[in-house]
Amino acid sequence: MTLTDELSDIVGQAFEAEGMSKAAGAVRFSDRPDLAQFQCNGALAAAKERKANPRMLAEGVVARLRQDGRFREVSVAGPGFINLALTDEDLSRRVEIANLAEGLGGWTKAPETIVLDYGGPNVAKPLHVGHLRSAIIGEALKRILRAAGDDVIGDIHLGDWGLQMGQLISELELRRPELPYFAAGAAGPFPAAAPITLADLEDMYPAASAACREDPTRADLARKATKALQDGKPGYRALWRHFVDLSVAALRRDYADLDVDFDLWKGEADVDPLIPGMIADLEAKGLVELSDGAKIIRLAEEGDKKEIPPIILVNSEGAVGYHATDIATIIDRVRTNRPDRIFYVVDGRQALHFEQVFRASGRAGYFPSDRLEHLWFGTMNGKDGKPFKTRAGGVLKLRDLIDLVEGKALERLTESGLAKDYPEAETREVTRKVAVAALKFADLSNPRTTDYVFDLDRFMSFEGKTGPYLLYAAVRIRSLLVKGKEAGAIPGALRIAAAEERDLALSLLAFGDMMRLACEKRMPHHLCEHVFNLAQAFSRFYAGCRIVDEPTPEVRASRLALAAAAGRQIEHALDLLGIAVPARM
């Protein structure tokens, strides 16, 4: 139970004893921390229901609660709000218990198996910001849900089977027709070494896609190549392998730099073997129709508020696309991972796609559509309010973005005189961590469904609601504890007495409620909110209370324990957000 669950239980019993429903006793942290620690507004609704005076009902409840020694203060405010405060002894005890149990702040849930589909980069296509947000939000959700006890399987779900593969293959065929992959009837084996480099690949894709856009004959070549690849043409499959391997090697490095990692590196192509059986099954279930040479599934339902167009399962060329691979991937995941739910952390602009895929899955009986969730996110915009682009107006490459952010991080560290005179490797690692913290916290601190503006100067500031500020707060607590230890001062029993100590304790004890919100709403920003509040409460405590140099040994030991608890929870919460704290900076 979280602290507010426990208080709701106590207050609920008092409501019950006064003849009202237990639910009326719901307690939450006070909206006005200057007036009360906790509040319960249940008397108002209860009074309305029974046409009674809310203040009088509240008085009855309060009279009972005053018997309870855990409360320092219980009072009625305004029309019938109940204000509560715990005694300092009770707060101290609770922080000590929370500190031992750590993890979840008392919140628990029934564990589930969840496949988390995030990342979603496409082979050879540059990563755009949508992919970056997917990686950042997905990684945080994975860690948060895991901490809550879920078995989470993170899958990158590479885009490696669509039209872009045919565009690339046909591009290479036009550029270098002499390669053995293209010889008529070539069955392999083919050379083990890749015929091109990653740089070639990155150069080929934009050229190919532009050419296909401009020239229908060229686009036709790409479509035919896609179909031949999917049909298993050996030279094309061999080339495809090279393209994927080159891309994946680069992706692994870039994601690792962001402290993002996946349990599964599967892709659309992995479900290719399931496709013929799936199509036959969908046909047998009467879900497939022919339309202009393509196989489609109609999904519109009566009562639809917007138009849900049919999906093209197999195009007129005979090739399958994004819908078919996503439906087949559900079949694969159900067989392989036996999930309770499947989450997709993907750009909100794909909402229709997922609605279609979920409907098709439900209709075909593959997986219930209400257990498939599109955890969508808004866009990261440039200062012009449009989706972020590079200065040259191009799509942003993940590598370039990481370099850009790390450059800024180093600049800020140098300006602030931090991480000075460290061994070079350590400076580099601190820089990387500051960069990751800035980027991730800026992203995660907004509700995922809102758009936000990429403002590197602001993200990288050591002041305000930023990743660097929080890293600095965590590092400062670490060094405070080290300083204490060197002076022979070690943490001891908690004896909360000062207002700043009380506030910090309350901040620590809000963790469970924030974990619940983050998990149930699948919204990491609640945790960002929490860790920022906590760091601020710590700052006020640090400014208002002597710690290492406090003369009374018991008070000093208590304050060190409180600082240690704050430090631990800040680092724990940051870790759940995918943000690592450097040892020093």
Under rule CB under 6 A, residue 346 binds ligand ARG: yes
Largest pairwise CA distance in the chain: 91
Under rule CB under 6 A, residue 122 binds ligand ARG: yes
Q: What are phi and psi of 28, to 5 degrees?
A: -140, 170
Q: Residue 127 CB, nearest distance to ligand ARG (Å)? A: 9
Kindly tell me which residue out of 344, 454, 469, 511 binds ligand ARG, with binding defined by CB under 6 A.
344
Q: Closer to ligand ARG by CB, 2 or 361: give it.
A: 361
Under rule CB under 6 A, residue 150 binds ligand ARG: no
d(CA 93, CA 547): 20
Candidate segments 115-123, 188-196, 200-208, 253-261, binder of ligand ARG by CB under 6 A: 115-123
- Counting other chains too, the contacts that 195-203 makes at CB distance below 8 Å and 24 or more residues apart are 195/239, 195/242, 196/172, 196/242, 196/246, 197/246, 198/246, 198/247, 198/249, 198/250, 201/124, 201/168, 201/243, 201/246, 201/247, 202/124, 202/126, 202/397
Within 204-243, the residues that bind ligand ARG by CB under 6 A are none
Q: Closer to ligand ARG by CB, 254 or 326: give it.
A: 326
Q: Closer to ligand ARG by CB, 41 or 356: give it.
A: 356
Within 191-210, the residues that bind ligand ARG by CB under 6 A are none
Q: Closer to ligand ARG by CB, 117 or 529: give it.
A: 117
Q: Residue 350 CB, nearest distance to ligand ARG (Å)? A: 6
Q: Residue 166 CB, nearest distance to ligand ARG (Å)? A: 16
Under rule CB under 6 A, residue 159 binds ligand ARG: yes
Q: Residue 481 CB, nearest distance to ligand ARG (Å)? A: 43
| Beta sheet of 38-40, edge-to-edge order | 28-29, 38-40, 81-86, 71-77
Residue with tokens 């972020």, as numbered in its chain: 388
What is the number of the residue whose Cβ is closest to ligand ARG?
A: 120
Under rule CB under 6 A, residue 138 binds ligand ARG: no
Q: Residue 74 CB, nearest distance to ligand ARG (Å)? A: 52
Candidate segments 93-101, 116-124, 190-198, 522-530, binder of ligand ARG by CB under 6 A: 116-124
Joined together, the tokens standing for residue 522 give 């699948």
Q: Residue 280 CB, nearest distance to ligand ARG (Å)? A: 23
Report which residue type is found at 42. Answer: G
Q: Closer to ligand ARG by CB, 346 or 527: give it.
A: 346
Q: Closer to ligand ARG by CB, 106 or 120: give it.
A: 120
Under rule CB under 6 A, residue 359 binds ligand ARG: no
Q: Closer to ligand ARG by CB, 355 or 575: give it.
A: 355
Q: With CB under 6 A, what is the number of residues at the site for ligand ARG?
A: 8
SS3 state at 158: strand
Residue with tokens 């969908």, as numbered in its chain: 282
Under rule CB under 6 A, residue 326 binds ligand ARG: yes
Q: Residue 423 CB, nearest distance to ligand ARG (Å)? A: 39
Under rule CB under 6 A, residue 120 binds ligand ARG: yes
Kindly tell me which residue out of 142, 143, 157, 516 binds ligand ARG, with binding defined by CB under 6 A.
157
What SS3 string covers 113-152?
EEEEECCCCECCCCCCHHHHHHHHHHHHHHHHHHHCCCEE
Under rule CB under 6 A, residue 117 binds ligand ARG: yes
Candidate segments 114-122, 194-202, 434-442, 521-529, binder of ligand ARG by CB under 6 A: 114-122
d(CA 195, CA 236): 12
Q: Residue 353 CB, nearest distance to ligand ARG (Å)? A: 7
Of 288, 311, 289, 292, which Cα lies nearest the Cα of 300?
311
Q: Closer to ligand ARG by CB, 375 or 434: give it.
A: 375
Q: Residue 162 CB, nearest distance to ligand ARG (Å)? A: 8
Under rule CB under 6 A, residue 272 binds ligand ARG: no
What burial letters (b/e) apply to 13-47, b meaning 16+ CB within 10 Å? Answer: bbbeebebebebbbbebbeeeeebbbbbbbbbbbb
Give the Å distances, CA to CA, from 125 to 96, 165, 276.
Answer: 51, 10, 27
Q: Closer to ligand ARG by CB, 132 or 473: give it.
A: 132
Q: Residue 120 CB, nearest distance to ligand ARG (Å)? A: 3
Under rule CB under 6 A, residue 339 binds ligand ARG: no
Of 314, 334, 580, which Cα lies nearest the Cα of 436?
580
Q: Residue 345 CB, nearest distance to ligand ARG (Å)? A: 8
Q: Residue 119 CB, nearest distance to ligand ARG (Å)? A: 8
In sequence order, the 6+-apart residues with CB closer than 8 A to the CB of 313 are 279, 282, 288, 294, 295, 296, 297, 320, 323, 324
- Cα 37-41-42 angle, rounded to 5 deg: 130
**What is the DSSP track for 413-456?**
HHHTT-STT--HHHHHHHHHHHHHHHHHHHHHTS-TTS-EE--H
Give the Å distances, CA to CA, from 317 to 219, 280, 498.
Answer: 12, 18, 74
Q: Closer to ligand ARG by CB, 22 or 252: give it.
A: 252
CA 470 to centroid of chain Cα atoms: 18
- 294's torsion region: left (phi>0), alpha (psi -120 to 50) or beta? beta
Q: Residue 157 CB, nearest distance to ligand ARG (Å)? A: 5
Q: Closer to ligand ARG by CB, 117 or 503: give it.
A: 117
Alpha helix segments (H runs only) across 148-193 = 163-175
Candidate segments 72-80, 117-125, 297-305, 495-503, binder of ligand ARG by CB under 6 A: 117-125
Binding site for ligand ARG (CB under 6 A): 117, 120, 122, 157, 159, 326, 344, 346
